[in-house]
């Protein structure tokens, strides 16, 4: 089980435990949240350390196996007491089957199960702790390129082949159940609703179980599923990983299931060649028409390791080709700090004059209390202090994904009783710059050691201003993430300090978009105070 963070579940979620991807927001919370129960000793050997996530059937903890001195993931059954006794028994039996399904599989891409500890008649599953993040979490920041999607698909396919050979159907293959671990490892987890050949089926309250947009058509129709059903789900995962959206997701569960049955997905735009052939084949409505696992493996291998084209002596290059914004697995598992620093240093040095055309789809938003008009994408969500708040010195605009944010804050000289405002914009920028590099910043979840690119030559309306581009890693010990911010500083004649901060992912498809937003937002800033 992954040490990735968990989040609340929705009505469309599976009844089994699902490790939800972290959802970035302007004020993110730690991925691992200490909770009631931490410190408890289970079965005399497993010490609960911190909660990792929860779902419909259980809560997963990071724990210490004190007998062998290693960290593990422990899944605690979480069954409401008001459920009828039969439904509680079914839920416990489903957890036992999850353990049996995973434990009978010997494959590096299947999460390892170490033990089932029974506490007060309830089974606690003890699993390996996979350090990394879910594919669903990675896709929050952008899509995968063809080779990386094929590489991950190959390992998930291997796990499914091992499961099918052992008579186990997973039945809930989706990005949130694919973990990206260390050393390029890919792990398929959550066999909570797996079906094991030869075992009596359990009655599921509410009909089918699984995630609607990944369920194969034959399962929606109530037909007996087979290995081809899991392969369909793999096809949807690959489509989502490369295109950035599930082809069947709709606004509610009934509409989603109807699209699974009847909608023909748009042809993949990013996936091409053998990968596109694999996706199109796996998404055939009739399971008899889907390719075999062996054929899918051959296509994915061809996509993961395409042949090197023969060089030609007659190609004349007249201009450099545009660089693709799609990145490979280093985006998801982290790259060296120098890469981010180089990107930050080479991107943008703002100078006078601050002016620029308003991009298409943008709008101007005026905040009279702050004395500012901001240019922002028209669809961004606005955030302001509560009505009763005494501190009304900021406003924010955030993309619906939560990945990109624009925040304007004002520190008034009249309220600066501690004299924290520096003498000018450059001095303020330099002070913040030293803090970012040597201490980090709690409000930004910034670990120390940020890479900065300060500019003290900027001006605004003929007066001194400053900017800084800061690339850093978040201080989340379980799931550190690359981030980048651009900050504009301006101190008015009256001594008030304005900061305009634009933040976005430091790696991934959103990085280029975030930099475009920062450039336009800063260039079109309009302050009413001189």
> Of 50-64, 282-296, 472-486, 498-512, which has the strongest mean pLDDT?
282-296
My answer on whether 382 and 456 are in the same domain is yes
Give dist(CA 50, CA 477) in Å, integer.
12
DSSP letter at 448 equals S
Does residue 4 fall inside a structural domain? no
Name the pLDDT band for 94 (thresholds 50, 70, 90).
low
**Quick one: which of 521, 289, 259 has its CA closest to 397?**
521
Which residues span the domain enclosing 124? 40-128
Whether residues 223 and 158 share a domain: the answer is yes
Query: pLDDT, tens digit, for every residue of 174-215?
Result: 999 999 988 889 999 877 554 554 444 444 444 455 689 999
Whether residues 238 and 100 fall in one domain: no
Would you say 98 and 125 are in contact if contact means Cβ atoms under 8 Å apart?
yes
The pLDDT value recorded for residue 375 is 94
Distance (Å) of CA 400 to CA 24, 26, 197, 367: 10, 11, 43, 21
Whether residue 181 sits in one domain with residue 98: no
Residue 244 falls in which region: left (phi positive, over 0), alpha (psi -120 to 50) or beta = left
Is 60 exceeded by the pLDDT of residue 277? yes
pLDDT band at 13 (very low <50, low <70, confident <90, very high): very low
The pLDDT of residue 14 is above 70: no
Point out the domain boundary residue: 304, 334, 352: 304
Q: Is residue 164 part of a domain?
A: yes
Residues 253 and 276 in one domain: yes
Q: Are the CB atoms for 303 and 486 separated by under 8 Å? A: no
pLDDT band, very low/low/confident/very high, at 26 (cuts 50, 70, 90) = very low
Which residue, 496, 487, 498, is CA-closest to 526?
498
- For residue 101, the domain's CATH number is 3.30.200.20
Instruction: Give the number of domains in the chain.
Output: 3
Is pLDDT above 60 for 437?
Answer: yes
What does the pLDDT average to over 423-441? 91
Q: Tell me how crowded residue 408 is: count the other CB atoms within 10 A of its CB.
A: 24
Sheet holding 132-134, edge to edge: 132-134, 178-181, 186-188
CB 311 within 8 A of CB 432: no
* Closest by Cα among 161, 114, 109 to 135: 109
pLDDT of the residue at 56: 55
pLDDT at position 481 is 87
The active-site residue out of 4, 65, 172, 399 is 172
What's the mean pLDDT when you consider all of the chain?
78
pLDDT in the model for residue 132: 85
Res 134 pLDDT > 60: yes
How far is Cα 280 from Cα 266, in angstroms, rounded to an integer?
A: 10
CA angle 63, 65, 69 (to 5 degrees): 120
Q: Is 204 part of any domain?
A: no
Give 217's pLDDT tier (boundaries 50, 70, 90). very high
DSSP-derived letter for residue 311 is P
For the record, the structure tokens of 144 come out as 């995968």
* Highest-scoring range by mean pLDDT, 224-228, 288-292, 321-325: 288-292
| Dihedral sign, Cα of residue 354, residue 357, residue 360, residue 364 | positive
* Pair 224, 138 in one domain: yes
Report the CATH number that the domain containing residue 430 is assigned in CATH. Answer: 3.40.1000.10
With respect to residue 150, please indicate whether it lies within any of the assigned structural domains: yes
Instruction: Say if residue 65 is in the same domain as residue 104.
Output: yes
Residues 222 and 119 in one domain: no
For the chain, what is the radius of gyration of the CA atoms?
Answer: 26
Rounded CA gap, 316 and 530, in Å? Answer: 54
The answer to whether residue 496 sits within a structural domain is: yes
Last residue of a domain, one of 259, 284, 304: 304
- The pLDDT value given to residue 160: 94
111 shares its domain with 168: no
Rounded Cα distance, 18 and 57, in Å: 9
Greater pLDDT, 25 or 526: 526
pLDDT in tens, 476-501: 777 788 999 999 999 999 899 999 99
The answer on 522 and 408 residing in a single domain is: yes
Catalytic residue flag (residue 145): no
Spatial distance between the Cα atoms of 173 and 397, rounded to a whole number of angstroms: 35
**Would you state the pLDDT for residue 519?**
93
229 assigned to some structural domain: yes
| 114 and 144 inside one domain | no
* Cβ-based neighbours of 309, under 8 Å, separated by 6 or more: none
């Amino acid at each position: 089980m992954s040490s990735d963070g968990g989040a609340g579940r929705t009505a469309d979620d599976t009844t089994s435990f699902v490790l939800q991807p972290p959802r970035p927001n302007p004020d993110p919370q730690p991925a691992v949240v200490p909770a009631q129960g931490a410190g408890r000793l289970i079965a005399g050997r497993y010490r609960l350390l911190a909660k990792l996530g929860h779902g419909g059937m259980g809560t997963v903890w990071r724990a210490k196996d004190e007998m062998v001195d290693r960290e593990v993931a422990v899944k605690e059954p979480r069954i409401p007491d008001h459920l009828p006794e039969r439904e509680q028994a079914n839920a416990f039996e489903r957890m036992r089957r999850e353990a049996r399904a995973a434990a009978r599989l010997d494959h590096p891409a299947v999460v390892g199960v170490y033990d089932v500890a029974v506490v007060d008649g309830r089974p606690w599953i003890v699993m390996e702790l996979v350090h990394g993040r879910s594919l669903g979490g990675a896709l929050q920041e952008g899509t995968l390129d063809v080779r990386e999607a094929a590489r991950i698909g190959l390992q998930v396919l291997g796990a499914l082949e091992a499961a099918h050979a052992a008579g186990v159907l997973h039945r809930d293959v989706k990005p949130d159940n694919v973990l990206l671990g260390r050393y390029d490892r890919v792990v398929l987890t959550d066999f909570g609703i797996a079906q094991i050949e030869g075992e009596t089926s359990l009655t599921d309250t509410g009909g089918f179980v699984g995630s609607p947009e990944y369920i194969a058509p034959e399962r929606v129709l109530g037909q007996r599923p087979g290995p081809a059903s899991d392969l369909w789900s793999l096809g949807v995962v690959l489509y989502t990983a490369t295109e950035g959206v599930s082809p069947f997701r709709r606004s509610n569960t009934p509409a989603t299931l109807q699209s699974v049955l009847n909608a023909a997905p748009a042809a993949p735009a990013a996936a091409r060649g053998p990968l596109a052939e694999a996706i199109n084949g796996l998404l055939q409505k009739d399971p008899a028409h889907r390719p075999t696992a062996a054929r899918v493996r051959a296509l994915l291998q061809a996509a993961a390791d395409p042949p090197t084209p023969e060089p030609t002596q007659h190609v004349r290059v007249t201009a450099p080709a545009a660089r693709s914004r799609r990145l490979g697995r280093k985006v998801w598992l982290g790259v060296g700090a120098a890469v981010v620093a180089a990107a930050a240093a080479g991107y943008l040095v703002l100078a006078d004059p601050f002016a620029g055309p308003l991009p298409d789809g943008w709008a101007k938003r005026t905040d009279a209390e702050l004395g500012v008009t901001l240019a922002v994408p028209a669809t961004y969500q606005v955030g302001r202090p509560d009505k009763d708040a005494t501190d009304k010195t900021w406003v924010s605009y955030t993309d619906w994904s939560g990945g990109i944010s624009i925040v304007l804050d004002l520190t008034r000289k009249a309220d600066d009783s501690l004299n924290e405002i520096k003498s000018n914009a450059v001095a303020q920028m330099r002070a913040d710059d030293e803090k970012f590099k040597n201490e980090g910043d709690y409000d930004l979840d910034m670990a120390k050691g940020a890479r900065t690119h300060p500019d003290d030559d900027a001006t605004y309306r003929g007066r001194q201003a400053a900017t800084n581009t800061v690339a850093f890693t978040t201080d989340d010990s379980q799931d550190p993430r690359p981030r980048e911010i651009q900050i504009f500083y301006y101190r008015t004649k009256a001594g008030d300090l304005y900061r305009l901060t634009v933040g976005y992912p430091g790696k991934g498809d959103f990085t280029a978009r975030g930099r475009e937003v920062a450039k336009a937002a800063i260039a079109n800033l309009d302050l009413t105070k001189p």
